[in-house]
Chains A and B, each alone.
Chain A
């Protein structure tokens, strides 16, 4: 069965303390892996798309990487405003227009 899991479920960091979030997937025929940020009470906001193993994307303090089984979202020197839930999702060849989302990692960055 296709699955998307994320770890850890929650993460607390001190401001400036770098870390990584993990998204593991078991799908065949990956079309793309997507990272979103979700603030409380709001809809997910698109961050990155990764299409193939070895690909990397960067935006400010965030860097997303992709292997054949997992993706990492690296957060370098985080600030309190990076606090949010980070979601990953996958789209695969046999999904049609369907996306499968992971449960998310809730990140808190303390000043």
Chain B
């Protein structure tokens, strides 16, 4: 089992560019999440999906969109990247309350 996988591992964007972060899990979990982690601020929830076909906003959704493609995959899209979106992005999945995280994507927006 690979657990939770994320691509890419690193990305540099210019302001205004768009990109999609990919996440997949092989644990047959219903719930999936996208977080961002910034120094001194802890993990903050961007969006989550409680089940296939549903998505909901978290604490910091502005500037992001998500797609729950199927039970395995949950993608995060930045339509017009801004320097404030420079961060490390983590995807997670869970069946109940115990979350399993991917290795993260380090994104820099210049």
Across-interface contacts of A104 in B (CB, < 8 A):
42
Contact B56 A43 (CB under 8 A): no
Q: Tell me, in angstroms, the Cα distance from A26 to B35 when the chains sit together.
A: 21
B101 within 8 A of partner (CB): yes
Residue among A31, A32, A41, A101 making CB contact with B44, cutoff 8 Å:
A101
Closest-by-CB residue of B relative to A96 is: B56
Count how many chain A residues have C-beta atoms less than 8 Å from C-beta atoms of the other chain: 23
Contact B103 A43 (CB under 8 A): yes
B4 within 8 A of partner (CB): yes
Interface residues of A in 94-109 (CB under 8 A from B): 96-99, 101-104
Contact A42 B43 (CB under 8 A): no
Main secondary structure of the interface of B (DSSP, over half): strand
Across-interface contacts of A103 in B (CB, < 8 A):
40-42
A24 within 8 A of partner (CB): no
Contact A97 B50 (CB under 8 A): yes
Question: Could you say which interface size class chain B belongs to?
Answer: 20 to 34
> Least Cβ distance of B44 to chain A in Å?
7
Q: A45-B101, A46-B98 are in contact. Are A97 and B44 (CB under 8 A)?
A: no
Across-interface contacts of A71 in B (CB, < 8 A):
none
Contact B104 A43 (CB under 8 A): yes
Query: What string of 1s and 0s marks CB contacts (under 8 Å) between B34-67 and chain A?
Result: 0100001111110010100000101100000000
Contact B43 A87 (CB under 8 A): yes
A49 within 8 A of partner (CB): yes
Q: Tell me, in angstroms, the Cα distance from A87 to B101 when the chains sit together.
A: 13
Sampled A-B contacts (13; CB under 8 Å): A32-B97, A34-B97, A36-B101, A41-B104, A43-B4, A87-B43, A96-B50, A96-B56, A97-B48, A98-B58, A101-B44, A103-B40, A103-B41
